[in-house]
Structure 1
């Protein structure tokens, strides 16, 4: 099982959800692009939250500036091309975590959704409740559908008003599974493990 974790925007809990999925599926983890926060990268967080035994595959790009990858790369005189990325070789399950949302630019002409399409693996779309999340969710779902990318999981991260949840969930394909993850006040290895154990069986 290989899965690409993306979100409807930034700071909506992709890394926490990736940690939970990595733990749940006993998977390896790969962050293709780390843009900023190199002193406490998402790979480091996963190792901290999931445990030392988790296999972390190295990033294809580690960029200094905490900004869109195309901007961070340009500042370092680097050009990102999706052909630079290949899935790590592993016999284990693999969780891949993107940067930001689907239309985050890798260059002036290629976007995160193009990388997903190139890697050709199913998607888990992380959604969090905020004013505007319905719009961002439906646009993301529509973009995935247009590219014929398999939306395997819709992850509802945190609590949602029933009216918000209903509209979002009505716009996914019947084959898409819904995963509900409770709010975590303090993100620790113990709390990640506790949430993982609470997940209803997902396949």
Structure 2
């Protein structure tokens, strides 16, 4: 297992994967790769039209060398398998091979674990091929228990290593405890709403929550023999 290389996957739509990915990329001084981007708008000068890579790069002022190009840029903001069909594109698994990097890497998936990349290939199948640990991003509030526990079960049924969860949104008085106890998973961090959302605000949260240390511990735990 490559140290400090991980996959960021959400438990649902709009749970804040890209913001959490930015948090990790900045804190780990990592490369960022979004292999499949749906809803990409070429030629749009606004950063919001450039997909998650563009938004993350703008937020962090990331050097171009640390931003890896997408394998697929699909125009429609729908599931990758359908977006590819609309664009007349066939998603080839060989183009989704991990980049050959020795240092930290954050791979952000397109959607959740069971999102189809093709009509015969789910995201979780590709994650299993990558053989990197997964960090799940979940919303902090209502609905997170079901989505998170189902995602944890799906990963474990395929023996995919799970680093832990990051909860995104306003702090909840009970959900972290419930997820930890019922899911048997570590809550690595809780990222509150940041207004304004800046790289400085992310850096402060990273420091206050000792995220570097927590991630080191999580990677070390996965490396221990069963």
TM-score under structure 2 length normalisation: 0.83
1:48 aligns with 2:58: yes
| 2:44 paired residue number | none
**Inter-partner Cα distance in structure 2 for 1:5 and 1:142:** 16
User: What does 1:74-153 align with in structure 2 at a 5 Å threshold?
Assistant: 74-153=85-164
- SS of residue in 2 equivalent to 1:22: helix
Size of the alignment, in residue pairs?
Answer: 202
- SS of residue in 2 equivalent to 1:66: coil
Cα offsets for 1:36-58 (capped at 9, x unmatched) = 04332111112112223260111
CA contact (8 A) 2:141 2:175 kept: no
1:163 to partner: Cα distance: 2.9
The gaps in structure 2 that reach 5 residues or longer are: 42-48, 217-226
1:177 to partner: Cα distance: 5.4
Aligned with 1:68 (options 79, 95, 116): 79
The gaps in structure 1 that reach 5 residues or longer are: none
1:160 to partner: Cα distance: 4.0
| 2:25 paired residue number | 22
TM-score under structure 1 length normalisation: 0.92
Question: RMSD in angstroms over aligned alpha carbons?
Answer: 1.7
**Inter-partner Cα distance in structure 2 for 1:52 and 1:179:** 23
| Higher helix content, 1 or 2 | 2
Structure 1 runs (4+) greater than 6 angstroms displaced: none
